[in-house]
Amino acid sequence: MGKRLRFKRRVLMASVSTGLLSGLVFASHAGAAQDEETNVQNLPAVEVAASPSTVRRSAPSRPVARAGASSSNRPKTRMYVYPTSPGTGRGLDVDKVPSAVNAVDANQIKRTGSLNVTDALRDNIPGVSISEVTGNPFQPNVEFRGFVASPVVGTPQGLAVYQNGVRINEAFSDAVNWDLIPTAAIRSVTLVTNNPAFGLNALGGAINLQMKDGFTYQGAELDLMGGSFGRIQGSAQWGKTVDKNYGVYAALEGLHDNGFRNFSQSDVRRFYGDVGYKAGDSEFHVNMGVAKNDFGASATVPAELLDKYWGATYTTPQTTSNRVGYLNLTAKADATPTWTLEGNAHVRRYEQKLVDGNPTDTQECTDPGLAGLLCFGDGATPANGTNGLPLANPFAAGTILGEIDRSSIRSTTFGVSGQATNTDQLLGHDNRFVLGATYDASVTRYNATAEIGSIGENYVVSGSGLFLGPTGTPDTGLAGPVSLRTVNQYNGLYAMDTFNVTDAFAITGGGRFNVARISLEDQLGTALNGDHTFTRFNPVIGGTYKITPELTAYAGYSEANRVPTPLELGCADPNNPCLIAAFLVSDPPLKQVVSKTVEAGLRGSKELNIGTLGWKIGGFRATNYDDILAVPVPGRTGFGYFSNVGRTRRQGLEAEINIKSPTLQFQASYAFVDARFLDALTLGSNSPFADGDGNIQVSPGNQIPAIPRHRIKVGVDYAVTDLWKVGGNAIFVSSQYIVGDESNQYAKLPSYTVFNLHTSYQVTKNFQLYGRVDNVFDKRYATYGTFFDTGALPNFTTGTGFNDPRSLSPARPRAFYAGMRVTF
């Protein structure tokens, strides 16, 4: 089952039964700070007390735990584990995980030179694809197996994200604000699939972030970098163990980037800290974080404008301000030699403010009886102000009108969780049993307003001080103010058991029961009031079999669910659409989404002269029932509603090969994702193929837009000398249908291949210079596309209307960066 090596009277043990680990990891005794070394799977080793059955085979088959007994005196072993539940404690021996294994370590994150963890996910995990829907690199969509974790409010979220055991999908919309995650403080990232223990939104999997502390990181590091588009960024981190019992860690990050697009500046400020205490078999931590980030240019751009200027924007202002503060308390203790208890209590305060310039349906009234007033698009429905009276038209004849939509989200979340893990043998066989419970409650206040303004030839909307109020005509789609209070209560109870039938064969079974209650309280009326309760039990079963010491097979089946968010519930009436992500209008019910997934594969490794070879290949199929989509309303820019659209399916293949040694690190992967609708649908769209009512007909088998079918990644890092390293990577993403073309009638968004280079030179033991070039060949490509209303505004660059119905998210042009890193 393992290889042993005696070194300075210490015994280190690494399991190799999956074939993915071989070689032992030794801690460095260098004085300078450095991140942990990891195995070929990018997992750090953990030190655990050996079970009595491991240390002494003649012991009784079921060890008896004595009250107050300590495991600290038992021999220690090192092993590689993988998370199977949200807790921060030791996971399951990676040999026994009945699903794909995907991990990124701190060194891989550092190698990207980025303060955005999503760049490391994109470069190192097969199947992960990034699209900058917002037009900003710090707020990307992360798509994996056709499921998305996005910062864009209103995007159906199919991935759960955890930080130190706490779910950080935001309460109001399940959105994931990647910019709020302190990247320098991340110890490791795992993408856990086929596991319902991670609760709501884990349809495609859960991204599990474990953070550094004073026990896992010692020393200090200062990192400064600058380069293209006015980029200046820096990070500092420090960790220390005091008297062997206390650990202190802190990380501070800052960034300014002007962006390559007009009005696309970014400012990122983050802090993370952790204070820990260890005593015998107990460990306690208090960690906290704050962030204050501001971004511009947060929307797609008509393709015709990009043809003229790659840095163009469309209808500004577009600004996002994110603020967060959180405090987590964690505790873990070995109650007996075979029982480990852990708990978590956390509080999180999140605020977001959006300012978004848009075209508007409010125009000068054409009805002679309403002369001098402002009306909605039909020209005969007066637009009211906040006082309920019709708005007088203060604009000169021929003025092109626009709208500045402002919204704010203020959420406070409190939660507690507990987990117990038992490793007693069962019927004379090794067994691991986990039982856990979670409770989270969130209160959110959401407000939105719309100010009428004029649009200039640079597409900048200038406000007039006129704010829209309720129109009294629901079927016009209310564009007036919104004030909403929502309460989310999420409860979960989960159990998982892994039983070793033989040394080679292990089976895992269990499940999670979720209860979600969502209440909506309209602060201006009653239209948004609602109270919704959803329940669901999600099972999991799987197994692993060690065919040879270097080859393991796995297979598993699981179910997961996500419940409609308060945003989706507040905008689900097709007869009363709302401005998605800004205005809510009514509260009809939606069904929860249920996903049923099966996956299987092989993984293995082999020692070569040039290093450790690791490889894996696997397939998956996930079927969603009552999937939820945002459905646009044709001819009304930005307006739409959320709807259950029946069944969808995502299936595919993932394969990876990598080599890891002190001199060479090589990785190549391929992922295939086939995502399709399984039921016939009628959807609104701005597609040029829409019928007279603005609808398209989606047939069973049509591909789901914005999900490329093929992704190929190749990366290499080579130590030319002990001091000089060079490396690079290439990423290919195939073509994809654009959003709004669910009927698959329009030309696809073209495929693209991007090449990146990086290098570093260790000037002294504590001082390093490094540089990188992104998009070496200056490829101009788009990562996301959708249709827009070509008649909403004129094309000021040509003086005529728009002919191309596509609106795209342009990727960053070639960029050069250089930096230095100092360690102490």
Question: How confident is the model over 587-618, as pLDDT tens digits?
Answer: 557 899 999 999 999 999 999 988 899 999 99
**Which among 567, 604, 572 has a CA at the least distance from the CA of 591?**
572
The amino acid at residue 614 is G
* DSSP for residue 579: E
Check if the beta carbon of residue 812 is closer than 8 Å to that of residue 334: no
Residues 284-326: tens digit of each pLDDT: 999 999 999 999 877 899 999 999 999 999 999 999 999 999 9
Residue 243: left if φ>0, alpha if ψ -120 to 50, beta else—which one?
Answer: left
Q: How far is CA 352 from CA 265, 448, 572, 660, 721, in A?
A: 17, 12, 23, 42, 48
For the ranges 362-366, 465-469, 648-652, the one whose mean pLDDT is highest: 648-652
Q: What percent of the chain has pLDDT over 70?
A: 88
Residue matched to tokens 């400012």: 267
Over residues 461-479, the mean pLDDT reads 71
- Enumerate the β-bridge partners of residue 530: 520
Q: Which pLDDT value is given to residue 524?
A: 84
713 vs 53, which has greater pLDDT?
713
In this predicted structure, the answer to whether residue 283 has a pLDDT above a threshold of 60 is yes
**Residue 352 has which token pair?**
């977001």
Residues in the chain, overall count = 824
What lies within 8 Å, CB to CB, of 469 at 6+ separation is 384, 385, 386, 387, 388, 480, 481
Query: How large is the average pLDDT for residues 495-518?
Result: 96
Kindly tell me the number of DSSP H helices and DSSP E strands found in the chain: 5, 47
Residue 29 has pLDDT above 50, yes or no: no
pLDDT at position 591 = 93
Report residue 256's pLDDT band, with 50, 70 and 90 as the boundaries: very high
Nearest to 364 by CA among 385, 348, 381: 381
Four-residue CA torsion sign, 554, 145, 139, 647 = negative
Answer for the pair 646, 677: CB distance below 8 angstroms, yes or no. Answer: yes
Which pTM was predicted? 0.90
Residue 712 has pLDDT above 90, yes or no: yes
Cβ–Cβ under 8 Å, residues 599 and 100 = yes
Q: Mind listing the pLDDT tens digit for each residue in 164-215?
A: 999 999 999 999 999 999 999 999 999 999 999 999 999 999 999 999 999 9
- Residue 807: pLDDT over 70: yes
Contacts of 307 by beta carbon, 8 Å cutoff, 6+ apart: none
119: exposed, middle or buried (Cβ count in 10 Å: 0-12, 13-18, 19+)? buried
Judge whether residue 749 has pLDDT over 70: yes
Give rounded-to-5 percent helix, strand, coil for the chain: 5, 55, 40
Model pLDDT for residues 109-168, shown as the tens digit of each residue: 999 989 999 999 999 999 999 998 877 889 999 999 999 999 988 889 999 999 999 999
Q: Taking all residues of the chain, what is their mean pLDDT, rounded to a whole number?
A: 87
Whether the ω angle into residue 359 lies within 30 degrees of 0, i.e. cis, is no
Q: Mean pLDDT across the stretch 319-340?
A: 94
Q: Using alpha carbons only, give the angle 154, 157, 160 rounded to the nearest 5 degrees.
A: 140
What the block records as the tokens of 756 is: 């990146």
Position 571, amino acid: C
Question: Under the phi-then-psi rule, with left for phi > 0, alpha for psi from -120 to 50, and beta for the rest, what region is 519?
Answer: beta
Model pLDDT, residue 636: 67
For the ranges 395-409, 569-583, 696-710, the lowest mean pLDDT is seen at 569-583
Residues 668-680 have a mean pLDDT of: 97
Query: Rounded CA gap, 122 and 143, in Å?
Result: 9
The DSSP bridge partners found for residue 802 are none
**pLDDT at res. 567:** 85
Environment class of residue 209 by beta-carbon count within 10 Å: exposed (0-12), middle (13-18) or buried (19+)? buried
pLDDT recorded at residue 439:
97
Between 155 and 513, the higher pLDDT residue: 513
Among candidate residues 589, 682, 573, 583, the one with its CA nearest the CA of residue 637: 583
Q: Phi/psi of residue 116, each to 5°?
A: -120, 115
The pLDDT of residue 632: 80
Largest CA distance in the chain: 98
pLDDT at position 399 is 92
Residues contacting 58, CB < 8 A, separation 6+:
none
Measured CA to CA, the distance from residue 324 to residue 444 in angstroms comes to 14
Q: Which of these, 461, 801, 405, 800, lies nearest to 638 by C-alpha position?
A: 405
Structure confidence by residue, pLDDT tens digits, 53-103: 443 333 333 333 333 334 445 555 566 778 888 876 667 888 899 999 999
CA separation for the pair 126, 189 (Å, rounded): 14
Task: Report the amino acid identity of residue 317.
Answer: P
pLDDT at 17: 34
- Give pLDDT, residue 136: 83
